[in-house]
Structure 1
Amino acid sequence: MELFNSALGKNITFVRPAYFIIRGFIGLSNMKYYYVFLFFVYIVSVLGNTAVMAVIYLDNNLKTPKYVAVFNLAFVDLLGSTALVPKVLDIFLFNHNVIPYNDCLTFLFFCYTCLSMQSFNLVVLSYDRLMAIIFPLHYRLKVTCRLMLSLIASFWIFAVIAVLIAVSLLTRLSFCNSVVINSYFCDHGQIYRLACNDNFPNDVVSLVYPVLIFWLPLVFILLSYIYIGYTLAKVATLQQSIKAFKTCLAHLSLVVIYFTPLLITFTLMEKIHPNNRIINLSLTSVFPPMLNPIIYVLQTQEIKASIKKILKFGLKSKISTKQSATK
């Protein structure tokens, strides 16, 4: 931190505000209904992801590399939704839009870390599908639970370090003009642009971060599916190719749901209205966590079979309990 300060000059007085003000939507009335809608989405997300995690934990048949990644995705979705939505509801439904400085940076850290891990988890699932389809006979040898856990742990470490760097660079900024954040949460880009001293390092982070967190993962996922399609076209029949791609439907659905709003936001950037930006980013934050468990339950035979087995076992245990009670 001293290196940053010396680079900026010796006679700079840093002004660290006591708080920030989250502005939210600009010039729109009755937006409380939107936040009530986010609350119901959050409840569905919590129930769905908790159910998926419970099913994977209880069924030994799902202790496979693929479902290690699915379990982590459900955990990240649950953590990310819980980090964001309750605080957003507190800010806008109960008019607590003044947030202390340290709390704002903590809020930013958890939101960005979970958003990053959602992207990285889609990369892990893409790698799993790539190996399963390209190397079906050697899949169990090449992709193990230990390897999957190592990949996930590496991405967690990278995400935490990357976001910590972004947060630490914010602490060297001086806020002497405004403390009003034009977003619905403590958004990194909106915060550093309020600074009245040199924010060049933050500007670099704001350019590099989307590349590392969004663009490179998306490119890897697209290339993996192009390679899958190219390989299947050479060695498989049309029916075999369709069957192989059916195993990817759940993952492809998650990719479309997660990346589409982000692509719109980052592509249009300056052209997009702040209100539209808030809607895009907020839906990206809450909709994938809600839809992910629904998609995996509906499109994955193993999870559907596991749920039926657990429900059947629960029903049998209830019947046996009633029978023993009547004797």
Structure 2
Amino acid sequence: MEPGNLTEVSEFLLLGFSEGPELQPLIFGFFLSMYLITVFGNLLLILAVSSDSHLHTPMYFFLANLSFVDICFTSTTIPKMLMNIQTERKVITYADCITQMYFFLLFAGLDNYILTVMAYDRFLAICHPLHYTVIMNPQICGLLVLVSWIMSALHSLLQTSVVLRLSFCTEVEIPHFFCEIKQLVQLACSDTFLNDMVMYFGAGLLGGGPLAGILYSYSKIISSIFGISSAQGKYKAFSTCASHLSVVSLFYCTSLGVYLSSAAPQTSHLSATASVMYTVVTPMLNPFIYSLRNKGIKRALKRFFGKQSIKGPFFLGLKKYT
């Protein structure tokens, strides 16, 4: 096959969740609401961390980065789906599909790596408190986030590059609401052995490695918590990890559910529905999980909105004298 004729199609059809026209307004409203909640919730978390000097610590620095990544993660898929419903078109061009797939893999990987870095941060804070401030200095925190970006970008570039070599002939319907790599590879009419190997490698790199790191960190954290003599000390140590542990459990459980549903035969729409859990629901719930149990975030939000309410009357008063 000639290299110049690897791709015979110029666009794909995203089938989404339902072909019934009567359900489209309901689906549109449902996903628009979740998308807006995700964006505003994570933006509020970023504003709370950046506006309060008491929250300028490694834990909240990583949390703000996670919120930014979650906004980008949902923005790679939901706006396109909403636009398709609004215009009553299911088409996505080949170039847009590849671009969407690249950024989806990029931000999914970043979510994974940052959650791992946050577990490492909690491990140092609880198991090595005397060395915590020395180890987790601003330079190291920035380096950990930078390495996460680089590793995720390289993985996404590798996955996308091997998809570019595939040939797509006549079957252009993707039974999903975005260009999911596994669904796209299954549509190819050329050999996909290399793609399957790279996907398995990526699953181990993005799934097995970070998950092993998180499990190791929490095994050490739990053993350290059991070694604390006072009940109050145990509760305080565990409370600093509870929110992160909830987010990690939600992310990995939903991702595993998607993997299992996609492995079953003839469950394409089930896989698309299950994907909503980790692509939309998890990023939407993250700000609530962290803010509901975190007094620092609540206090920062109160201060932020308090300042805004004070500034309004103050500037109105200034106008009288100008």
What TM-score, normalized to structure 1?
Answer: 0.90
Q: Structure 1, residues 5-59: CA drift from partner, whole Å, max 9, x if none? A: xxxx779953331111112236767442234211100011111111111222222
Q: Which AA in structure 2 matches 1:317?
A: K
Distance of 2:20 and 2:249 partners within structure 1: 29
Structure 1 equivalent of residue 138 of structure 2: 145
Is 1:23 paired with 2:15? yes
Distance of 1:259 and 1:28 partners within structure 2: 32
**1:227 Cα deviation after fit:** 1.4
Partner SS for 1:20: strand
Q: Would you say the 8 A contact 1:16–1:173 is kept in 2?
A: no
What TM-score, normalized to structure 2?
Answer: 0.91
- Assess, with a 3 A threshold, how the Cα gap between structure 1 residues 236 and 28 changes in structure 2: closer, same or farther: farther
Which shifted more, 156-165 or 137-146? 137-146
Distance of 2:28 and 2:304 partners within structure 1: 35
Q: What is the percent sequence identity of the aligned residues?
A: 29
Structure 1 equivalent of residue 152 of structure 2: 159
Is 1:312 paired with 2:306? yes
Is 1:275 paired with 2:269? yes
Structure 2 equivalent of residue 259 of structure 1: 252
Q: Give structure 1 stretches of 5+ with no counterpart.
A: 1-8
Distance of 1:223 and 1:268 partners within structure 2: 28
Structure 1 equivalent of residue 290 of structure 2: 296
Counterparts of residues 1-327 of structure 1 (less than 5 Å): 13-25=5-17, 30-32=22-24, 33-271=26-264, 273-321=267-315
- Assess, with a 3 A threshold, how the Cα gap between structure 1 residues 321 and 12 changes in structure 2: closer, same or farther: closer
Q: Structure 1, residues 199-220: CA drift from partner, whole Å, max 9, x if none? A: 1111112212222222322232
Distance of 2:41 and 2:2 partners within structure 1: 54
Partner SS for 1:248: helix
Which shifted more, 315-324 or 134-143? 315-324
- Assess, with a 3 A threshold, how the Cα gap between structure 1 residues 31 and 155 changes in structure 2: closer, same or farther: farther
Q: Would you say the 8 A contact 2:185–2:195 is kept in 1?
A: yes
Q: Give structure 2 stretches of 5+ with no counterpart.
A: none
Question: Over aligned residue pairs, what C-alpha RMSD do you find?
Answer: 2.3
Which shifted more, 82-91 or 154-163? 82-91
Q: Which AA in structure 1 matches 2:170?
A: N
Q: Would you say the 8 A contact 1:81–1:285 is kept in 2?
A: yes
Structure 2 equivalent of residue 3 of structure 1: none
Partner SS for 1:175: coil
**1:271 Cα deviation after fit:** 2.1
Q: Would you say the 8 A contact 1:25–1:274 is kept in 2?
A: no
Distance of 2:251 and 2:111 partners within structure 1: 8
Q: Would you say the 8 A contact 1:177–1:195 is kept in 2?
A: no
Structure 2 equivalent of residue 5 of structure 1: none
Distance of 1:165 and 1:176 partners within structure 2: 23
Q: Which AA in structure 1 matches 2:281?
A: F
Partner SS for 2:160: helix
Q: Would you say the 8 A contact 2:261–2:274 is kept in 1?
A: no
